[in-house]
Each structure stands twice: as C-alpha cells, then as structure tokens.
Amino acid sequence: LFVIGMEMSFKQLASIKKTVFIAGSLQVGLTVIVAALAYHFLGNSWNESVFIGFLFSLSSTVIVLKTFQDRKAINSPHARNALAILIFQDIIVVPMMLFTPIIAGESGNLTVSILSLLLKSAALILITYLSIRYVVPKLLHAVARTNSKELFLLVTFTLCFAVAFLTSEAGLSLALGAFIAGLIISESDYNYQATSIILPFRELFSSFFFVSVGMLLDLSFFMNHILLILFLVVVLLVVKTMITAIAVAVLKYPFRTVLLTSLSLFQVGEFAFILSKVGMEYNLLNTETNQYFLSVSIVSMLLTPFV
C-alpha cells in the first residue's frame, strides 16, 4: 500500500472520491444486508448474522492491487474503481470494530470512542497536509544532497512506518497509514527515486503476508469439509460480484469496467481476519464458524489472480 500511495497523487485520489463514497457504501451496505439475511435464515441470531455480514463485505487490498500492478493495469478505470471501494472498506473497518461490542451487548462508552476517533482523524489530516507542504520535500531534498543511498532508504522506511504507526494510534488501520505515507512522498520531487529503492522490499513483505495468511488455516478441518467450503466459495464469488456490479453500475460506468471491477473484489480480505478476532472475543463467532470463514477467505484469495 505504501508503494501504491507513491504511485498515485492527491489529484488522482480526489478524482475518485465519488466512487469511494457512493460505490463503496453501496458495496459494503448491500453485502452486509445479503450476508446477514442468509446467515439468519440458517437459524442464527441477528447480532451474529450482522457480524458475519461485516466480515464478508471486506475485500483484499493487498492481493487486488498487487494483481493489477503485476498486469500493468493499476491506472485502468476498473483498477481505480477497485481502489476507491477498497479505500472505503479500509475506512469503514474502524466503525465496524467500534460497533461490534454494541451488537454483542457490551457497548461501553461509544460516544467518547467516536469523538476521540474523529479528533484523532482530524489531527492526522492536518499532520499529513503540513508534511506534504513543508516537512517531507525539504527532508528528502536534504537527504538526497548527501548522495547516500542507505540514508535515503532508511528515511523512506522511517516515513512509512512512522505514519502507519500514527494512524494505528489514532484508531485507524496500519495499511491506511502506509497508503497515506506513500501519498505524502508522491508529492515530492524524489518520488521515483524512493519508489525504485523500495520495490524489492515490497516483494519480501508481500511474501511474509501470504505466509501469515496460510498459517491461519487448519488443514485437517479444510480437508474434512472441502466440498461445503468450495460450494461457499462459489456462492461468495457469484453474490459478491453481483453486489459490487450493482454498486459500480449506479455510477454509469461501461459494462466492461463494471464487470472487471466486480470480479476483482469478490474475495474476503485481510482486515476481515482482524475483525474476526474481535468477534471471537465478544462470542459473535465460534471456533467452527471461524474455520469455515478462514477457509472460504483463503481459497477466495488464492483464486483472485486467476479470476
């Protein structure tokens, strides 16, 4: 996501704001409703059903954008639409985490949590703006003058992790922070230099990500329930593709763009794994259901590049 941010600009991001909020909210909202109704129909409680809807509404930012990058299609209309919806999902996962204790009947002080999140978000936006205008361009210029590749690499990494850490402390996601850090660097004169230095590390960290996803799967459970899992994957592909197609079609994009965008977002994403841990803490997800969820999610991730 840091690399994706470096390859974009705030002008490009502003050009997709309509898709972020309209298509993003429709895709998440409709997926939550359909998944919740289906799970409730199977005899489960409404609070568990809504939580299952939360999980299946999220897609994989890492896999989708990596696939588009590998195919040199990151600037295509369908890739921009997918990015817009994924940005909305990365933002909405925070309110979902705040809402999880409420549907579990353990609300705590929600008003204070929301006000705190809004204040921290506003502070983060201000820091980002000041960094773009006054801090990062001057810092990178000073570092570039030393002609030290090692120092430039260290400063680039530090910026990525520092901004990601700040967003995490503000209650937002680490990945969103990495994306913002990339956007900050994209506005400087040393954007291409930073991108070329960081690219080899992207492959390394992507590998770590996929290894960690694989470690979540219980292989014996998967083999014992493989037919049902594959059936659920097919249902997920068809239903989520149709919902995303409706969300994008509302904005009157051509059929090809609608189809490619919707097919790219059918899988379940990495943030759903984090959310599932919260659900297990509040007893909205039992161990067996969680294994079904993980199995379906991982198979859908594996299928994404082929789809």
With both helix axes pointing from N to C terminus, report the angle between 149-169 and 174-186 in degrees, rounded to the nearest 10. 130
Task: Name the nearest CA neighbour of 160 among 140, 178, 134.
Answer: 178
Per residue in 92-115, is it b (16+ CB within 10 Å) or e — as a string? bbbebbbbbbebbeeeeeeeebee
Contact 273, 60 (CB under 8 A): no
| High-pLDDT (> 90) share of the chain, % | 38
What are the tens digits of pLDDT across the range 230-249? Answer: 999 999 999 999 999 999 99
Question: 149-169 and 136-144 helices cross at what angle (nearest 10)?
Answer: 160
- pLDDT > 70: percent of the chain: 98
Does residue 281 have a pLDDT over 80? yes
CA-CA distance, 181 to 162, in Å (whole number)? Answer: 8
- C-beta of residue 59 within 8 angstroms of C-beta of residue 86: yes
Per-residue pLDDT tens over the stretch 67-124: 898 888 888 999 999 989 998 898 788 788 878 888 877 666 667 777 777 787 788 7
Span 136-152, pLDDT tens digits? 888 888 888 898 888 98
The pair of three-digit structure tokens given for residue 266, joined into one six-digit string: 């059918």
Measure Cα distances from 161 to 1, 26, 178, 252 in Å.
12, 32, 7, 38
125 band by pLDDT with thresholds 50, 70 and 90: confident
Confidence at residue 103, expressed as pLDDT on a 0 to 100 scale = 83
Report which DSSP code applies to 134. Answer: I
